[in-house]
Amino acid sequence: MTRGPGLDNAARARIFTALARGMDLDEVLRRFNLAPDDLKALFREAAELYRIREEGCWRLFCDGASRGNPGPAGAGALLQDPAGHLQAQASRYLGQTTNNVAEYQALLLGLELARKRGVRRLQIFLDSQLVTEQLNGRYQVKSARLRPLWQQARQELQKFDFFAVKHIERTLNTAADRLANEAIDRAPKRR
């Protein structure tokens, strides 16, 4: 194997996979015929790639809420520019539906906000592990009710030059949650 910057992407992937799986650092150096400076160079290169990838990304926070499952539901989304300044927010009452449907509807609402502002690079933050894992292909979409929403979301995501969907703790998504709940509160009351 060639050393340092001469490594191809497959070799880089094998090295990082070995490290991620817990292989001892000295064993990685020996197995891949690397000097410590070679490994440092690989990490610097990876860090630079992530910096470039994240640079210029807008951030979208989305949340759906349902009071009962199903029950009265709302969707909330807020969009921040790359500097972290709030540029747009929206909420929508969804009627009677499930929490998971509300989560997908919140994402679609947020993607609409981003498209209207010409956003090309987007990091999406959701507190729904189910929706995050389905969108990232780690969970199957088994629900017939969710499948069309998942398909629509995937189609909308493909319109961006770059996107990443990340799961965050509910405590880091309180603004989007507030918007979703305000939408429910504003719903017309039934008599």
The CATH number of the domain where 167 resides is what?
3.30.420.10
Residue 90, domain extent: 58-185
Residue 190's pLDDT band (cuts 50, 70, 90): low
Residue 3: is its pLDDT beyond 50?
no
86 and 43 fall within a common domain: no
Q: The tokens of 28 are what?
A: 């990685």
Mean pLDDT taken over the chain: 91
Same domain (yes/no): 99, 28? no
The reply to whether 72 and 119 lie within a common domain is yes
Residues 49 and 67 in one domain: no
Q: Given a cut of 80, is residue 6 above it in pLDDT? A: no
Average pLDDT over residues 133-148: 95
How deeply is 18 buried, as exposed, middle or buried, from its count of CB atoms within 10 A (0-12, 13-18, 19+)?
middle
Q: What token pair was written down for 49?
A: 């790639």
Top-confidence residue, 156 or 43:
156
Query: Does 106 share its domain with 40?
Result: no
Q: What is the mean pLDDT of residues 83-110?
A: 97
Query: Does 73 share its domain with 158?
Result: yes
pLDDT over 60 (residue 49): yes
Place of tokens 């992530």: 50
Residue at 119: amino acid letter: V
Q: Is residue 78 predicted with pLDDT exceeding 90?
A: yes
Mean pLDDT in residue range 158-183:
95
Q: What is the pTM of this model?
A: 0.73
pLDDT interval class at 165 (50, 70, 90): very high
